[in-house]
């Protein structure tokens, strides 16, 4: 008697092993009632197995081996293939339902350009790529991800929730490979002068930032900008012993980069977000106080208030004066230029020639 075998995952329908069982009974001219009696099972159960409603268990497979002379392994393999095919077909239905969510990722081209996901225009493959990227069984689960972050976000009409989630997720993915010591607030505070001094470095400062922060229990990730996520930086806790600071390479001028970095460190030092995770827009109600506190920390840590007040009283913001003041307080002059423009002491156009664009080998 020839047994029909159907490869798993090769068709657009699932063939239950009961179909082969029914063919076998017909070949033997055996009724379901007689077969049920030989198996010592209820006729209803045999009928449900044939229709694919009831599974062939290991115990049933051994009985089939005894009664029909067809190995138990054959039946268990067919059953496993059938259940896999059912799951595959159900997954295809879910993928079709998630096409609309995948279409919201207008940043997908940027994500693929940076190597986060595979480049594709096929809707099904895009869904699967995004599922893998986020580590979720369904894209519907993205909105439930515990991305605790307090991020600096400019008012921007093209801001996308999905792009922001992708940007934050990439920082999380990068942090997995960054080994850190258990978090220590004391070590972080002691490291602030060394981190601040790195603003004077022109090369390799990103590596030194990563090394110093890792010793304090903080993973630092540098993430390219993607469409719809105009973020300068974000901070969140991966565990009580490991914090994550993500920094954008968007508009990576010295003043923006270093202020954003120290702003995120300010959240950690101030104890923000450690107990209750949330994502914070800079203009979100109830969150401005935390952003203001982090701003104040970054402002004063980079440029100490007393020397800056003394500098302002001179009312001389020439190139030579700014360079001299920057050297006096040992900070990158671009940070001082940015502070002056931020406080409207000078126009942004006045610092265009002196503003340094940082370069990252990423």
Least confident of 129-133, 141-145, 207-211, 350-354: 350-354
Residues 6+ apart with CB under 8 A from 247: 220, 221, 222, 223, 232, 233, 257, 260, 261, 264
Residue 259 pLDDT greater than 70, yes or no: yes
Rounded-to-integer distance, Cα 116 and Cα 121, Å? 15
pLDDT (mean) for 327-340:
93
Q: Residue 153 — very low, low, confident or very high, per pLDDT cuts 50/70/90?
A: low
Residue 8 pLDDT greater than 60, yes or no: no
The answer to whether 280 and 151 are in contact (CB under 8 A) is: yes
Return the pLDDT at 349.
79
Least confident of 20-29, 201-210, 265-274: 265-274
pLDDT (mean) for 129-157:
76
Residue 303 pLDDT greater than 90, yes or no: yes
Q: Name the more confident of 252 and 181.
A: 181
Residue 50 pLDDT greater than 60, yes or no: yes
């Amino acid at each position: 008697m020839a047994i029909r075998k159907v490869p798993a995952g090769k068709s657009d329908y699932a063939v239950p092993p009961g179909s082969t069982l029914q063919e076998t009974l017909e070949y033997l001219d055996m009724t379901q009632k007689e077969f049920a009696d030989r198996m010592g099972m209820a006729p209803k159960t045999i009928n449900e197995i044939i229709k694919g409603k009831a599974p062939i268990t290991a115990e049933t497979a051994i009985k089939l081996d005894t009664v029909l002379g067809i190995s138990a392994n054959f039946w268990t393999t067919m059953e496993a293939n059938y259940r896999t095919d059912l799951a595959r077909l159900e997954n295809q239905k879910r993928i079709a339902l998630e096409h609309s969510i995948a279409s919201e990722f207008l940043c997908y081209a940027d994500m693929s350009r940076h190597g986060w996901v595979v480049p594709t225009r096929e809707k099904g493959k895009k869904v699967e790529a995004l599922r893998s990227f986020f580590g979720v069984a369904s894209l519907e689960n993205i909105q439930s991800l515990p991305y605790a972050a307090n991020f600096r976000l400019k008012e921007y009409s093209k801001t996308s929730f999905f792009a922001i989630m992708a940007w934050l997720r990439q920082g999380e993915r990068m942090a997995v490979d960054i080994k850190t010591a258990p978090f220590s607030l004391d070590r972080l505070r002691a490291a602030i002068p060394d981190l601040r001094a790195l603003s004077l470095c022109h090369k390799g400062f990103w590596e030194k930032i990563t090394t110093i922060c890792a010793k304090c229990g903080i993973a630092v990730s540098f993430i390219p900008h993607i469409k719809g996520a105009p973020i300068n930086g974000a901070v969140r806790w991966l565990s009580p012993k490991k914090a994550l600071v993500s920094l954008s390479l968007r508009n990576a001028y010295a003043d923006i980069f270093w202020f954003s970095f120290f702003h995120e460190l300010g959240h950690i030092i101030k104890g923000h977000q450690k107990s209750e995770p949330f994502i914070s827009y800079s203009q979100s109600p109830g969150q401005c106080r935390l952003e203001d506190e982090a701003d104040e920390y970054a402002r004063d840590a980079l440029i100490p208030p007393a020397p800056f007040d003394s500098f302002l009283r001179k009312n001389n913001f020439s190139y030579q004066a700014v360079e001299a003041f920057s050297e006096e307080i040992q900070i990158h002059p671009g940070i001082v230029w940015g502070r002056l423009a931020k406080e409207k002491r000078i126009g942004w156009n006045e610092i265009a020639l002196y503003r340094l664009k940082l370069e990252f080998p990423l």
